């Protein structure tokens, strides 16, 4: 077992006190090795952290998505539409879809509500006869104009940009609305 | 043959020293009274190993891509050989791990095993508790159906409540502005690489500390922990009456662990994994997202606290919980360990268990959720009076029935209205329906006079 007994390693390595210049040399080399190690770690960490935060750096500008001709939305009704998010990656598949509630108030006044409840983001349903949006998760309820009617939601349903162009109702893509601490 | 094997064994031991390294650990002395109460930590470890093994099995079949994961889950469940059982074991293994982490923690707290010199055992245990919960949540998301999609949105909303950096954290979690291609691969990387690596490290550390500080002896009333004398006393006690860990104490761990694994496999075969819901298309909105049982108490809490306090709960709740758990061994690191001398500690545990259990139960019932699947009252009860029938139809159509019950049909969010006509006048009913209030929407804007009249007549007749 005792292959590495330090006292029997050889006649040349007598235990002598290190001369001071040797001491500072070792100290220097130790610091260089720590520095180089830190540099190597940083060099590896940058691309890994980059992969982690990459989605935050991607700037996805608003894209207009056609969701149907205006006459598909009778005045006073609220209809579910589906559209594709801005610039999805190919392998997003069906997860690139977003739904929204389009309400036609008057002939040329459209409102598009997010389906995401402002409480915890669950998808709200439009109950046409009751004229209420209802959330299945914690019982949040909104009126037809998106204001809170009952339950825990801290603020009204968020809205998407909407326009009528080229004979189509178009919805502007947007990030999933995230309720902030300061929203109450 | 025997000779060759023995020689090979001796050679291997000479070159590696594995047996001489492990033997002292297996045979180290433990207090003699450590009986069945001590099996829950090792049961948690057995569940963890079960999760590693079945996780590898699932990873052989699963596609960690937002687009293909659902198809591969269908394949695992319906076609792959024993795939359904594999998913089942992984699900019940996760449930078992959460359960035994909880029981182990309660046992340690009740017996005050976290006191000197085992403070760091406790702290690494708390870290492992949170890592286990993270594994449970990310694992639930990897079941990438519509429930998985909406659970990740709910998680993002929770992170979004962190002041200043909330929205950034939410986007980071989702891997972008919306659910998409980068969402699932992230949860996969967290669930399969990052968090398990941390767990391996901390489980190793936790076990090292168990060996180093010794298994705590069952507490005796009137025998407080004194840091000045404890270690010496513990060493002497072990020398006097200690028994070797293997096999005197460990056979219980091995037997209980084996029974737990057999029970989990049994549940996986008989009950099977949670059924897949609809595909992971965020534009499919007719879905009722609900987390697996171990997250349900938190989900229920969010429905029950006053909405005004909620941002504070979401943000400060976890911080306070983590802070309290970390502070515990420093606030009461010495003194009495026996639960008989610590009645408030026992009372606190009972309170926490009752509260979590109650939240779990109420979360299963979810009384705050509208019952969208309630049957129209007019189809269940036959009303001879056309006025009442019109009222009953309106009661369903206008959504009243989603939240109010009449004759056994309807939701339980609002009061049961089966006998509302006994105590409420038509006038009171009209005012309440038109103006709402008390967490009920105002229907003034969506009912015409005739409808209002029919509805009030219907409710007045409920006696």
Tens of pLDDT, residues A135-175: 999 999 999 999 999 999 999 999 999 999 999 999 999 99
Residues A126 and A162 in one domain: yes
Q: What is the mean pLDDT of chain B?
A: 94
Q: Which pLDDT value is given to residue A176?
A: 94
**Is the link from the previous residue into B117 a cis peptide, with omega within 30 of 0?**
yes
CB nearest B160 (choices: A55, A129, A178): A178
Q: Is the separation of the CB atoms in B46 and B260 below 8 Å? A: yes
Could you tell me which residues are beta bridge partners of residue A82? A99
CB nearest B286 (choices: A95, A125, A132): A125
Q: How far is it between the farthest Cα atoms of chain B?
A: 100
Residues A48 and A90 in one domain: no
DSSP A131-154: TEEE-TTT--EEETTS-EEESS-S
CB contact under 8 A, B154 and A181: no
Could you tell me which residues are beta bridge partners of residue A170? A66, A163
pLDDT tens per residue, range B346-381:
999 999 999 999 999 999 999 999 999 999 988 888
Q: Is residue B203 over pLDDT 80?
A: yes
Q: Is residue B61 over pLDDT 60?
A: yes
Our CA-based measurement puts residue B414 at a distance from the nearest CA of chain A, in whole angstroms, of: 11
Please give the angle made by the CA atoms of A46, A52 and A56, to the nearest 5 degrees: 110
Domain boundary among the residues A58, A76, A99 is at: A58
Q: Among residues B297, B285, B281, which one has the least CA distance to residue B183?
A: B281
- Give the pair of three-digit tokens for residue B437: 């209030």
pLDDT tens per residue, range B87-146:
999 999 999 999 999 999 999 999 999 999 999 999 999 999 999 999 999 999 999 999
Residues A136 and A158 in one domain: yes
Q: What CATH number corresponds to the domain at position A78?
A: 2.102.10.10
Using pLDDT thresholds of 50, 70 and 90, give the confidence band for residue B193.
Answer: very high
Q: Is the separation of the CB atoms in A114 and A158 below 8 Å? A: yes
Q: Is residue B273 over pLDDT 70?
A: yes
Our CA-based measurement puts residue B441 at a distance from the nearest CA of chain A, in whole angstroms, of: 5
Using pLDDT thresholds of 50, 70 and 90, give the confidence band for residue A1.
Answer: very low
CA–CA gap between residue B372 and residue B374 (Å, rounded): 6
Residues A113 and A51 in one domain: no
CB contact under 8 A, A141 and B288: no
Q: Is residue B431 over pLDDT 70?
A: yes
Our CA-based measurement puts residue A29 at a distance from the nearest CA of chain B, in whole angstroms, of: 31
CA–CA gap between residue B46 and residue B53 (Å, rounded): 11
Residues A37 and A127 in one domain: no
Residues A50 and A110 in one domain: no
Helices (H), B219-337: 230-241, 250-270, 296-304, 310-331
Q: Among residues A101, A123, A104, A121, which one has the least CA distance to residue A112?
A: A101
Q: Among residues B144, B170, B124, B128, which one has the least CA distance to residue B314?
A: B170
| Residues sharing a CB contact under 8 Å with residue A50, sequence separation 6 or more, in sequence order | none
Q: Which pLDDT value is given to residue B22?
A: 93
Residues A88 and A153 in one domain: yes
* Closest CA in chain A for residue B291: A137
Domain boundary among the residues A20, A35, A58 is at: A58
SS in 3 state form for B142-205? HCCCHHHHHHHHHHHHHHHCCCCCHHHHHHHHHCCCCCCHHHHHHHHHHHHHHHHHHHHHHHHH
Q: What is the average per-residue pLDDT within A32-61? A: 94
* Closest CA in chain A for residue B411: A139
Of A175-184, B4-13, B317-326, B411-420, which range is least confident?
A: A175-184
| Domain count within chain A | 2
pLDDT tens per residue, range A110-121:
999 999 999 999
CB contact under 8 A, A99 and B282: yes
CA–CA gap between residue B95 and residue B102 (Å, rounded): 11
pLDDT tens per residue, range B224-271:
999 999 999 999 999 999 999 998 999 999 999 999 999 999 999 999
Beta strand pairing status for B405-406 and A64-68?
unpaired
- Give the pair of three-digit tokens for residue A183: 């929203």
| Residues sharing a CB contact under 8 Å with residue B83, sequence separation 6 or more, in sequence order | B61, B75, B76, B77
Q: Domain range spanning residue A177?
A: 64-183
- What percent of chain B clears pLDDT 90, i.e. is strictly above it? 88
Q: Which residues of A touch B437 (CB under 8 A)?
A: none
Residues A52 and A87 in one domain: no
Q: Which pLDDT value is given to residue B219?
A: 94
* Closest CA in chain A for residue B393: A129
CB contact under 8 A, A86 and B402: no
Q: Is the separation of the CB atoms in B221 and B340 below 8 Å? A: yes
Number of H helices, E strands in chain A: 1, 11
Q: Which residues of B touch A90 (CB under 8 A)?
A: 181
Q: Among residues B335, B269, B306, which one has the least CA distance to residue B116?
A: B335
- What percent of chain B clears pLDDT 70, i.e. is strictly above it? 100
Residues A39 and A79 in one domain: no
DSSP helix/strand/coil, B285: coil
In the Cβ-directed half-sphere of B11, how many Cα atoms lie within 13 Å? 6
Residues A9 and A81 in one domain: no
CA–CA gap between residue B88 and residue B272 (Å, rounded): 5
CB nearest B282 (choices: A95, A130, A174): A95
Q: How many A/B residue pairs have CB atoms within 8 Å?
A: 199
Our CA-based measurement puts residue B431 at a distance from the nearest CA of chain A, in whole angstroms, of: 16
Could you tell me which residues are beta bridge partners of residue B409? B406
CA–CA gap between residue A119 and residue A113 (Å, rounded): 15
Q: Which residues of B touch A88 (CB under 8 A)?
A: 180-181
Residues A134 and A49 in one domain: no
* Closest CA in chain B for residue A116: B153
Residues A85 and A145 in one domain: yes
């Amino acid at each position: 077992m005792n292959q590495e007994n330090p006292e029997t390693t050889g006649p040349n390595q007598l235990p002598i006190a290190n001369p001071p210049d040797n001491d500072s040399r070792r100290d220097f080399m130790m610091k260089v090795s720590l520095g180089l190690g830190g540099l190597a770690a940083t060099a590896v960490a940058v691309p890994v952290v980059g992969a982690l935060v990459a989605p935050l750096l991607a700037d996805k500008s608003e894209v207009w998505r056609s969701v149907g001709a205006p006459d598909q939305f009778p005045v006073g009704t609220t209809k579910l539409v589906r559209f594709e998010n801005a610039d999805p990656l190919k392998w997003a598949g069906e997860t690139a879809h977003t739904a929204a509630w389009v309400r036609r108030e008057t002939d040329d006044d459209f409102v598009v509500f997010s389906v995401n409840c402002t409480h915890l983001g669950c998808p709200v349903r439009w109950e046409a006869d009751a004229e209420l949006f209802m959330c299945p998760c914690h019982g949040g309820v909104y009126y037809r104009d998106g204001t809170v009617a009952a339950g825990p939601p801290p603020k009204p349903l968020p809205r998407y940009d909407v326009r009528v162009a080229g004979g189509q109702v178009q919805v502007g893509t947007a990030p999933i609305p995230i309720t902030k601490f300061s929203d109450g | 043959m025997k000779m060759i094997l023995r020689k090979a064994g001796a050679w291997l031991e000479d070159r590696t020293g594995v047996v001489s390294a492990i033997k002292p650990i297996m045979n180290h002395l433990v207090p003699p009274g450590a009986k069945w109460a001590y099996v829950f930590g090792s049961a948690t470890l057995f569940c963890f190993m079960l999760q590693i093994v079945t996780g590898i099995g699932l990873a052989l079949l699963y596609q960690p891509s937002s687009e293909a994961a659902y198809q591969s889950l269908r394949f695992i469940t319906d076609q792959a050989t024993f795939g359904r059982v594999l998913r089942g074991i992984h699900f019940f293994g996760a449930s078992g791990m959460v359960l035994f982490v909880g029981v182990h923690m309660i046992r340690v707290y009740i017996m005050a095993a976290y006191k000197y010199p085992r403070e760091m055992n406790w702290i690494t245990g708390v870290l492992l508790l949170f890592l286990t919960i993270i594994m449970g949540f990310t694992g639930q998301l990897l079941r990438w159906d519509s429930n998985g999609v909406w659970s990740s949105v709910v998680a993002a909303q929770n992170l979004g409540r962190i002041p200043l950096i909330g929205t950034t954290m939410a986007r980071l979690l989702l891997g972008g502005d919306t659910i998409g291609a980068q969402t699932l691969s992230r949860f996969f990387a967290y669930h399969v690489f990052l968090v398990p690596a941390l767990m391996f490290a901390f489980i190793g550390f936790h076990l090292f500390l168990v060996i180093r500080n010794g298994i705590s002896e069952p507490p005796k009333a009137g025998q407080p922990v004194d840091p000045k004398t404890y270690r010496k006393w513990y060493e002497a006690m072990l020398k006097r009456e200690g028994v070797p860990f293997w096999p005197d104490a460990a056979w219980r761990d091995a037997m209980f662990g084996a029974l737990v694994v057999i029970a989990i496999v049994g549940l996986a075969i008989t009950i099977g994994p949670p059924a897949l819901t609809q595909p992971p298309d965020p534009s499919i909105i007719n879905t009722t997202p609900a987390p697996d049982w171990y997250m349900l108490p938190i989900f229920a809490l969010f429905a029950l606290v006053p909405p005004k306090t909620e941002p504070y709960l979401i943000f400060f709740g976890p911080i306070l919980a983590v802070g309290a758990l970390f502070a515990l061994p420093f606030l009461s690191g010495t003194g009495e360990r026996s639960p008989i001398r610590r009645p408030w500690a026992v009372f606190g545990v009972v309170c926490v268990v009752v509260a979590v259990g109650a939240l779990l139960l109420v979360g299963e019932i979810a009384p705050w959720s509208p019952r969208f699947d309630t049957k129209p009252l007019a189809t269940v009860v036959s009303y001879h009076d056309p006025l009442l029938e019109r009222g009953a139809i309106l009661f369903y159509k206008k959504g009243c029935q989603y939240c109010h019950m009449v004759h056994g049909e309807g939701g339980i969010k609002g009061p049961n209205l089966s006998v509302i006509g006994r105590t409420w006048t038509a006038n009171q009913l009209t005012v309440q329906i038109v103006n709402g209030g008390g967490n009920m929407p105002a229907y003034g804007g969506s009912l015409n006079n005739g409808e209002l009249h029919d509805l009030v007549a219907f409710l007045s007749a409920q006696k």
